[in-house]
Amino acid sequence: MRTRSAASLRDNVFAAFITAGDETVRTGAGERGPLGNDPGGGGAGTPRLTPRQAQILELAAAGLSDKEIARRLDVTHRTVRTHFEKLYEQRGIRNRAQAIAIWSRRPTQGHRTRPADECPYPKPFPPGFAECTAYQATQMITLDISHRPLGAVWTCRHLESRLMPNTDYRWYGACVIGDAEARRLWSQSVGPGRLYEISQVRQEVSALSGPYIQRLMELKTAQQAAPERGGSVSVADAQQRARAISHQINGVVDEFMTDIAHLLQERKAVLDQLHLPLRACLQLIRIAIDRFVQQGLTEPEWEVPDEVLTLFPDDIRSYFRPSRAIEPADRQSRETGGGTA
């Protein structure tokens, strides 16, 4: 969700190659799970959900933690955990995220229909999250009201906030790829094996880039604070300080690009197998980091420029623009869906 966050560390190529961590999944939860289509329980021989279990799952699907659920229901934290443990034991559910995913797919039976592109998983995502085939782990930097970094939480680079239909005040976490079928198509178009290998390269890049990102954020914060110092600081001194910070930023960027180029050159054989040309990768990273430096921590969402995207083979472009993975299906649907009005 993009709420006062450094969006440059999420939805763009900076996220794709630089951000810390990537637990891209190769397998996901099945379309039909142990909770079944009945919101009250599973199949024959499986105990129905108790009203309390249904309450807990509903609150968990809304994004509440176990402790928050306990406070809301006026029970102990251990009680909530016990209910989840019974679900795991009785229904063969692996973990909390899978239980929520299955619950979210149940028929609503008269309840307001949720958007098809809504992400059904709890946020922030836990480390090692492995329930969605399209999940692309990224660290989102949260900011205070002065745009100073507070810390990082796990999110997905495909997650964004959207208004609920027919409202102007209710928001939900949407997947930019689309619904479950669109996510499946995207994963297939890129290839689960390739997604995993890309994640390995990203993690190597993350280990190298982490200190540079932190340093750039510190310098950008100092750069934004410099004009506000006022007091006994003269205009000339303030300008000199701003120039010094800019010089430091340029130095960090140059050093970063040198180290990234060296790392990716060492991994060129892997990049070639993944159809990720070295020159295109470096150009993308350079564009992303320059935008981050120029626009700071409030950078809006952006897409890979067309002139850079064309440097990549067709079969990998949908990794950077997920909509490309569902365009063929959309065209087929329009062609077979009947006549025009």
Q: Which residue ranges form the domains of the chain, and what is each CATH number?
A: 7-25+134-318 (no CATH), 29-112 (1.10.10.10)
Which pLDDT band, with edges at 50, 70 and 90, does 304 fall under? Answer: confident
Q: Which tokens belong to 9?
A: 């560390």
Whether the predicted pLDDT of 188 surpasses 50: yes
Residues forming a β-bridge with 175: 159
pLDDT for position 102: 77
pLDDT digits (tens, 9 = 90+) for 239-272: 888 889 999 999 999 999 999 999 999 999 999 9
In angstroms, the CA 127 to CA 150 distance is 19
- Taking the model in full, what pTM does it have? 0.57
Whether the ω angle into residue 115 lies within 30 degrees of 0, i.e. cis, is no
In angstroms, the CA 330 to CA 146 distance is 43
Count other C-beta atoms under 10 Å from residue 94's C-beta.
13
Q: How far is CA 260 from the centre of its chain?
A: 23
The half-sphere exposure of 14 on its side-chain side, counting CA atoms within 13 A, is: 27
Q: Which tokens belong to 32?
A: 């039909």
Which pLDDT band, with edges at 50, 70 and 90, does 171 fall under? Answer: confident
Residue count of the chain, please give it: 341
Number of H helices, E strands in the chain: 13, 4
Which pLDDT band, with edges at 50, 70 and 90, does 189 fall under? Answer: confident
Q: Which tokens belong to 233?
A: 């600081």
Question: What would the mean pLDDT of 71-90 be, rounded to a whole number?
Answer: 86
Whether the predicted pLDDT of 298 surpasses 60: no
- Contact residues for 20 (Cβ-Cβ < 8 A; gap 6+): 139, 152, 206, 209, 210
Contact 194, 274 (CB under 8 A): yes
